[in-house]
Chain A
């Protein structure tokens, strides 16, 4: 597995961790615009998740198409070798 995919995996995992640590964000303070922390914490993680997932998506497909390119380039030589 190449580095790009590992970075993508970590970027995808971070929002899961952010939402799984419920006891850490299940509190009233600090409030923002009158919203308890419990709510606004989960709201701001929506755009952050979107951005992280998007970067991960770009990394996954770049990694994927590069690997495909290598494979394709490799095929004819293999056939010649046979």
Chain B
């Protein structure tokens, strides 16, 4: 239930959040005019902090809002989020520590830095940077969608709800941009710990509270009998979705940025290996999409809303209709900053790509101080672009672009992941593989949706329904591997020499 206590707790905890963000500046302080200090926290984060930072930034407001909503509407198919987060960390612990070692020795801040150095190719690096930015922007925009959902639920029935929600989001983003600018990654890391504490408590309280109140999960599943198992026509879709998503996650700039902030490769690997445990929270929050069937008042409220907004309101509605007012404020703030914290890291990550791998190519003499200053301003700029995006285009477009984003980012897999393990890849093969993957991916998505609104990322195949990201990546890989087999590439001598010297 929502009452005055909800608002008081929400506003108070938001003030605490912002204070923590600004105080981050002093945390293990360093010279914030250096890029490695501002955007990688000086590469000094220990196992626990990396765990919170990476965990917090992978399980975002969008995850907490959209996945349970899809579960609510479509059912067990969306439980693919669970195996996805389990095995994505196996991929992370095999790839990221190696990238970390190279980065430490060669001073990389982004994956594109590695590509440029390894292949001695500025164009390939730019391709990777642009792909990262394009795939990441809708992801930031979706954080705003998640934030909007919380505010909409909290203010339901209040006059001028649209205006108040917009004003609140703008205030929140100004505060966020403020501490991103001042404290950089340190602010993001500390607020991530705060956010995680709120989210974990919320998930535990709702799961225990609601299941006890409605008499167990069985009761909710009894009301939603089609959700009990996965319909067999979705088998290949399920496996291809979780496997390809697991491969995609650590290609996103924010995941790489978070990883590179670790203080050592060993710290990073240990912390990532333990992240499947963090995912327990996600496994239960996705079940909110089923639990709501067992709570008649929440279900009635959701069904009374227009279809366009009811989709994103499942989790907030369930919390609001089952928990006491002060706790609703607590939980809502958790989801609210669950959008802001990742948005900040994503903005930092793509600002790095823009300055280091695009602007610096045009203006190579950019000094270190100017580079950091430019990156700080670009991070702020990206935060506001994402915000503006949500105000200008409807949320459904952001969701569609995000769907394409996952397929697009996968096309950087050979150039970033496979290149970590072999020197034989041919850079032209990588470029053409990327191009073929992007074109085929976009075309198949459009065709699967009959060139209309994008609602599915699945295509039919001889094996059954298949995630389009798998097909596009397979086309890309075939080109890269055949090309490199015929004409093996060579890593640049500077790279080979650099990673061998200690």
Interface residues of A (CB under 8 A from B): 12, 15-16, 19-20, 22-23, 26-28, 31, 33-36, 38-39, 42-43, 45-47, 49-50, 53-54, 56-58, 60-61
Contacts and interface: CB of A to CB of B under 8 A. Distances in A.
Contacts, number: 110
7 contacts: A22-B235, A28-B228, A38-B230, A43-B283, A45-B86, A53-B89, A60-B93
B266 interface: yes
Nearest to B268: A57
Given A42-B83, A46-B82, A54-B270, A20 B239 contact: yes
Contacts of B242: 19
Given A31-B218, A53-B93, A53-B273, A26 B87 contact: no
B347 to A, nearest CB: 29
B interface: dominant SS? helix
A47 B85 CA distance: 12
B287 interface: yes
A15 B275 CA distance: 14
B292 to A, nearest CB: 15
Contact of A46 (B238, B265, B283): B283
Interface in B201-250: 211, 216-221, 228-230, 232, 235, 238-239, 242
B274 interface: yes
A31 to B, nearest CB: 7
Given A19-B83, A34-B217, A47 B269 contact: no
A60 B383 CA distance: 38
A interface: dominant SS? helix
B338 interface: no
B94 interface: yes
Interface of B: 76, 79, 82-83, 85-87, 89-90, 93-94, 211, 216-221, 228-230, 232, 235, 238-239, 242, 265-266, 269-270, 272-277, 279-280, 283-284, 287
Contacts of A58: 270
A42 B283 CA distance: 9
Given A15-B90, A38-B76, A50 B274 contact: yes
Contacts of B279: 46
Contact of B269 (A39, A49, A60): A60
B190 to A, nearest CB: 24
B162 to A, nearest CB: 37
Contact of A57 (B85, B228, B270): B270
- Best-surrounded residue of A16, A53, A58 (most CB of chain B within 10 A): A53
B329 to A, nearest CB: 29
Contact of A38 (B93, B229, B265, B270): B229
Contacts of B211: 33-34
A35 B216 CA distance: 8
A60 to B, nearest CB: 7
B219 A34 contact: yes
A42 B79 contact: yes
A32 B270 CA distance: 31
A12 B274 contact: no
A54 to B, nearest CB: 4
A31 B274 CA distance: 27
A36 B218 CA distance: 8
A36 B229 CA distance: 7
Contacts of A27: 229
B266 A46 contact: no
A65 to B, nearest CB: 8
